Amino acid sequence: MPLSPLLQQQIDRCVMCGLCTQHCPTYALTPNENESPRGRLALIAAVNEGQLAVTPPLLAHLDHCLGCRACERACPSQVAFGEIMDQARDLLEPQRPRQQRLRKHLGHALLGHRRLLRTALTGLRWARKTGLDKAARVIPPIPAGPRWRAYYPPVAEARGEVGLFLGCINETLGQMELRAAIQLLTHAGHGVHIPPQQTCCGALHRHNGDTRAASGLARQNLRAFEKLPVTAILHTASGCTSQLREYGQQLADDTQARAAARFSAGVEDINHFLARQPWPREMRFSPLRKRVAIHSPCSLKNVLRQADAPFRLLTIIPDIELIALADNGLCCGGAGSYMLTQAERAARLREDKLDALQEAQADILVTSNIGCALHLQAGLRERGREIEVLHPVTLLARQMDKAE
């Protein structure tokens, strides 16, 4: 399994200090060195050097990794753990059983076809009959089909032009958040461009051993946005935003490297963008006398490093009480497709979050990533709890007093 020399150098940067282990949710679940970041790096290095055979238990230790990148954030040697793991998974892919690979590739292919994907999501209502019940449990009722205009002009005095990325699953299940984003952006004076040629960000492909497909999707998104007169590209799901932000790194050796670097530089989390905008003087937000717990998705915290943005954004709502969900440093278990492929572990990680939420006696839970929202909502449904789970922009748009 030859890793690129650059990544081998990255692994070599690990001084085995173990400072990352205390931040690793899978090590917290199973205190086994092979379930820690340091242990996983050692496994990858040993396979790479031909000292260790690729066995199902070895693959399982790598598969248990959530890709939360808490280790990367904690590492004093700045080991690029996420990139190493992505490349290792890609190189190990041919060693997996054929059926498993086929199932995964079919799923990945679907994410790149927006219309087909929506039909498939609706079809998941029948999933219990077909044995896909793990997926059916996390899918909430599907709203009516999204219809996006290519351009939404500013409602207030014009301040600029932005692009809005829709996402694949998010386009259907995160419609409310996307509509809230359009409402807030246009009322803050921004024209919003939604190029119809855009596609899935490719995060699930990239983190699950399908780098080639991920790069193809990245190139399609570069083409979709390249001619737009925008100063920022925004999205509502922090998981996908992180992936868009890393196109430059992902396509560094590609013919599109410069375009990718330009694109990535313009990508910004929607909370972060809105929190630094001056609102028009006539904009008002209604008071909200509620306790709102903020969950910090790993992508927002460990990759974008903007976990403070939802707090800064929502403080504009009068009377709101904002609290950080306890143990925000640890992943909730959603982690892209992890909640489906490692359902039992994902549910165990979620339990602590739900307990913390109950203890905090919050009225609303806010999170900035669709995957975390679906995972946490499913857990709340299982517990028979009614608490609302919203994106910060949905909550803010709801409190907006429109002068229309």
Does 375 engage in binding with ligand SF4 (CB under 6 A)?
no
CB 295, min distance to ligand SF4, A: 16
Residue number, 38 or 187, with CB nearest to ligand SF4: 38
Among the listed residues 75, 111, 164, 317, the single contact to ligand SF4 using CB under 6 A = 75
Site for ligand SF4 in 4-63 (CB under 6 A): 14-20, 23-26, 37-38, 40
Looking up tokens 């939404």 gives: 152
CB 338, min distance to ligand SF4, A: 9
Q: What is the β-pairing status of strands 232-235 and 400-401?
A: unpaired
Specify which residues 190 forms β-bridges with: 160
Does 77 engage in binding with ligand SF4 (CB under 6 A)?
yes
Does 297 engage in binding with ligand SF4 (CB under 6 A)?
no
Binding mask 81-110 toward ligand SF4 (x if CB under 6 A, else -) reads: x-----------------------------
Side-chain-side CA neighbours of residue 335 (13 Å)? 29
Residue number, 84 or 274, with CB nearest to ligand SF4: 84
CB 303, min distance to ligand SF4, A: 11
3-class secondary-structure state, position 268: strand
- Closest CA relative to residue 219, chosen from 201, 241, 203, 194: 201
- Closest CA relative to residue 91, chosen from 54, 126, 117: 54
Among the listed residues 45, 62, 66, 185, the single contact to ligand SF4 using CB under 6 A = 66
**Among 73-81, 138-146, 181-189, 384-392, which window interacts with ligand SF4 (CB under 6 A)?**
73-81
CA separation for the pair 97, 75 (Å, rounded): 34
Residue number, 68 or 259, with CB nearest to ligand SF4: 68
Q: What is the DSSP letter of 146?
A: P
Among the listed residues 58, 62, 79, 188, the single contact to ligand SF4 using CB under 6 A = 79
Residue number, 195 or 333, with CB nearest to ligand SF4: 333
Exposure pattern of 238-248 as b/e (b: 16+ CB <10 Å)?
Answer: bbbbbbbbbbb
The residues near 347 (Cβ < 8 Å, ≥ 6 apart) are 333, 379
Map 63-82 to HEC letters. HCCCCCCHHHHHCCCCCCHH
CA separation for the pair 75, 236 (Å, rounded): 28
Does 184 engage in binding with ligand SF4 (CB under 6 A)?
no
Q: Are 190 and 154 in contact (CB under 8 A)?
A: yes
The residues near 85 (Cβ < 8 Å, ≥ 6 apart) are 40, 44, 62, 65, 67, 207
Q: What is the DSSP letter of 145?
A: P
**Among 1-9, 69-77, 101-109, 224-232, which window interacts with ligand SF4 (CB under 6 A)?**
69-77
CB 41, min distance to ligand SF4, A: 6
Neighbours of 384 (CB within 10 A): 6
Residue number, 65 or 396, with CB nearest to ligand SF4: 65
CB 40, min distance to ligand SF4, A: 5
Q: Are 277 and 188 in contact (CB under 8 A)?
A: yes
Residue number, 15 or 403, with CB nearest to ligand SF4: 15
CB 48, min distance to ligand SF4, A: 16
Looking up tokens 């449904």 gives: 381
Does 67 engage in binding with ligand SF4 (CB under 6 A)?
yes
**Among 71-79, 237-245, 312-320, 376-384, which window interacts with ligand SF4 (CB under 6 A)?**
71-79
Site for ligand SF4 in 233-272 (CB under 6 A): none
Which spans of this chain sit near ligand SF4 (rule: CB under 6 A)? 14-20, 23-26, 37-38, 40, 65-71, 74-75, 77, 79, 81
